[in-house]
A and B are shown apart, each in its own frame.
Chain A
């Protein structure tokens, strides 16, 4: 009955959303065009990025609409918008490459630029080649967040220090980006497999809550300061870099009261997990309803924490515990916290999407068998890329430092990632692991990738200072 109603409504609602998104894109482009005429500089990177953002936002809205309502006609327009955005994105990458004289991989900003590009390409490939249309619902919002983050980070071309002027480095980083993107894709596919394999919704509740909890726990336990402040790295707006007290020791400023907000959010984010635990322990499903409400509440609080963080951490001056006087900080100084907070909201929203639209998702996604096979194929793609990435990195290190392997944490974790996927392949090929076990393995593999990419830079004592 509900299905029939939805199908009846589709033509009207479908067209409404497309028309609205189309109008919004046209309006924004017109406004941007007027601005461009005033400034007289059509092909600047900012303009290209703005165009990218507009198209990706349109695509993201349509993909989300498709994810929520299941209207097929959205997809065509969504991929059209993605194509257009990709053209602008490619132009921005090319512009950057031309201006800098090297492949755009040397700063967080440039990495994001390339990452967003890769994400858009993969979305189109997954959609056209494998027919996984719903993937845009997940990837395009990530791409939008990426482009928005880029606006906040430094944009001027930064010269390369001598060690980074090597073709092998570019090969290494390009391969790393591709490999990690393939790993991310395999993770998304494995998660979809679990949905199609009828994994319980409350299990997803537990996992998503645990992930957001981990993010806030990470922020609070490393950055909570005396009297409820939050430590952030000081940022020198003139030199566009972090402020160092001495070699390798960064200056932290203390943003008052933000620590309390983070701690409060931590508590609220933990509550769904607590209720889930109670439901399991008391075997009472009433607690699950409470847990789902708590997720909703946690999203509100997370959004508040994110907004307060953006408002207070962006271009303001705060005292420091290590030095006298006020020091400026900027969002650019805390890219990891920012992406963590954005990621937390995103993970919780994905859970809500699953909670509310599970039957539709079941209809939209490919079958469990297909997803299992595609996950394996993506890892078959990721593994050689990982291998070549490590090899290119080793070759570069050998050219630069005279040693192809020095067990630095980043290297070691890259090797660990490689071993984890090697284990996956052995289990699958020789032991015939399929289905859930393989999916868990793919998810664990991606967790290791994330740790290698972010955790090593952020948490471990390391020498891989460039990325």
Chain B
């Protein structure tokens, strides 16, 4: 029984680690992801648009199998996990072999290897030592660090470069797993939402995508926000001056613009929208006494502000309508868009000797059916209306981000190694025929990729060796060194 279980486990392992499984899984990912771009997706589509695009039955089926939200469906997540598992298993399965290759380089080629190896070349030599020295010097001049290898009574030369390249594919696979890990962490513990702030407002409540809210352990205050336009009127820049408030203290201040968020304890705030909030920031007026006496006064009001005009009179900014309509002598708010604004001021005057204060309504623009502006003891002339603005912030917390970006960097490095760093090996072995006593130097090489360029290099090496062989027997050592240097 136990044996059976082991056989089954072994078989499943072989299956999950096989390239066929990997290919099938990747093809499945491709098909399902493509389906997710063709079928309208619930998270990014308005409900009525979904309903007009598909019949109710079709929609029910699509919803039931999860095709209307492919990228959040459990089976898509499951598939991604299977892909990760497959990558891991395949890497673990192949790693020991590669590691042996990496940790114990093959330095002395035996006879069968020498016969099968390509490229290879045999060069006639006078004796073993000359051949070894020539190979050593030639490899030196090609920039390698050759080493002498001893096997029983045989000598050989071995040189290699970029052995790390054999490990590159594991770097790539590990980096992919790191990226997956990051996205899973973000999916489980990350959140995204919005935070709208009026200028001057402070808040720590973020509205999340799913309609719930989240309290931050610190608050954000918007000091000011604005927009810059190009000459033709298209927006050029949106900005907000934000402050982080913790325990009543400003701990951080930053001007954010699109593409440049504010980061505070793992939460990032992005500039996402900007616009009028329908509230008055400052309403500037010039006030003149109706009886012509006294001085004109310049005042600026926000809603609910009260300002004294003279000793007996005050004016209060009572109401503001961004888009008003009048019906039956009443003013109504038609919408919150700044289309057709109206302002309501109340002048309160307490004449000397009178016990009760008297209120006068003043409207901008003058609304005769509602009130008569001329009754007021002060007359007003509006000079400027500055509206308040809100800034719309996207808020996100992505705790897995570090894994994603380090995975991306690792992936770039890994791919660079996979494609552009070649593990090159050269061997040189002197072979002497015991019958004839004639010796030749066997030279072989191998590269794990880009083999045609490698063959060129191999031919260079052989040419160098042949040149060295010409100089060695007749020339003393010192002179050889200068020849090589030249």
Contact = CB atoms under 8 A, between A and B. Distances in A.
B259 to A, nearest CB: 4
A419 B26 contact: yes
Interface stretch (A43-51, A296-304, A406-414): A406-414
A423 B23 CA distance: 7
Interface residues of B, number: 50
Contacts of B230: 159
Instruction: Count chain B CB atoms within 10 A of each CB in A381, A407, A430 and give the residue with the most.
Output: A407
A401 B394 CA distance: 7
B36 A159 contact: no
Nearest to B71: A407
A465 B33 CA distance: 20
B103 interface: no
Nearest to A386: B415
A160 B416 CA distance: 34
Contacts of B192: 402-403
B33 A162 contact: no
A163 B261 CA distance: 12
Nearest to A415: B33
A424 to B, nearest CB: 11
B419 to A, nearest CB: 5
Contacts of B270: 400-402
Interface string B260-279: 11000000101110000000
A333 to B, nearest CB: 19
A384 B415 contact: yes
A391 interface: yes
Interface in A152-167: 159-163, 165-166
Instruction: Count chain B CB atoms within 10 A of each CB in A159, A388, A423 and give the residue with the most.
Output: A159
A139 B452 CA distance: 27
Interface string A391-409: 1001110111111110111
A373 interface: yes
A383 B401 contact: no
12 contacts: A159-B234, A166-B259, A384-B415, A387-B415, A399-B260, A402-B270, A402-B394, A402-B396, A403-B192, A412-B36, A413-B37, A431-B19
B411 interface: yes
A388 B412 contact: yes
A165 B71 contact: no
Contacts of A395: 405, 408
Contacts of B36: 407, 412
B44 interface: yes
A293 B111 CA distance: 63
B261 A162 contact: no
B33 A416 contact: yes
Given A400-B270, A426-B19, A460-B38, A163 B33 contact: no
B259 A165 contact: yes
A402 B19 contact: no
Contacts of B347: none
8 closest cross-chain pairs (CB), A and B:
A402-B396, A162-B258, A409-B37, A159-B230, A407-B71, A166-B259, A384-B415, A391-B408
B92 to A, nearest CB: 16
Contacts of A422: 26
B19 A430 contact: yes
B95 interface: no
A: contact size bracket: 35 or more
Contact of B44 (A162, A403, A408): A408
B198 to A, nearest CB: 21
A400 B34 contact: no
A420 B30 contact: yes
Contacts of A405: 183
Contacts of A32: none
B40 interface: yes
Contacts of A431: 19
Interface stretch (B154-162, B235-243, B291-299, B369-377): B235-243
B396 A403 contact: yes
A456 interface: yes
Contacts of A460: 37-38
A162 B40 contact: no
A387 B37 contact: no
A214 interface: no
Contacts of B259: 162-163, 165-166, 168, 396, 399-400
B268 A402 contact: yes
Interface of A: 159-163, 165-166, 168, 373, 380-381, 383-384, 387-388, 391, 394-396, 398-405, 407-409, 412-413, 415-416, 419-420, 422-423, 426-427, 430-431, 456, 460-461, 463
B32 to A, nearest CB: 10
B368 interface: no
Contacts of A381: 419
B404 interface: yes
A460 B30 CA distance: 16
B405 to A, nearest CB: 8
Contacts of B411: 387, 391
Given A162-B235, A402-B261, 9 more contacts: A162-B258, A387-B411, A388-B412, A398-B401, A402-B396, A407-B36, A423-B26, A423-B27, A460-B38
Nearest to B233: A159
Contact of A159 (B38, B236, B398, B452): B236
Contacts of A161: 234-235
A207 B232 CA distance: 48
A281 B33 CA distance: 37
Interface string B216-244: 00000000000000101011111000000
A384 B260 contact: no
Interface in B162-189: 183
Contacts of A168: 259
B22 interface: yes
A100 B33 CA distance: 37
Interface string B30-74: 100110111011001100000000000000000000000011000
Instruction: Count chain B CB atoms within 10 A of each CB in A398, A404, A419, A460 and give the residue with the most.
Output: A404
Contacts of B258: 162-163, 165, 400
A461 B45 contact: yes
Nearest to B20: A431
A346 B367 CA distance: 70
B208 interface: no
Instruction: Count chain B CB atoms within 10 A of each CB in A420, A422, A460, A461 and give the residue with the most.
Output: A461
Given A380-B419, A401-B270, A419-B30, A162 B236 contact: yes
A93 to B, nearest CB: 22
A461 B36 CA distance: 11
A404 B238 contact: no
B232 A159 contact: yes
Nearest to A392: B408
Nearest to A239: B232
Nearest to B394: A402
Contacts of A427: 23
B338 interface: no
Nearest to A409: B37
Nearest to A379: B419
Nearest to B409: A391
B395 interface: yes
Contacts of A413: 34, 37
Contacts of A384: 412, 415-416, 419
Contacts of A166: 259
Contacts of A387: 411-412, 415
A399 B261 contact: yes
B76 to A, nearest CB: 10
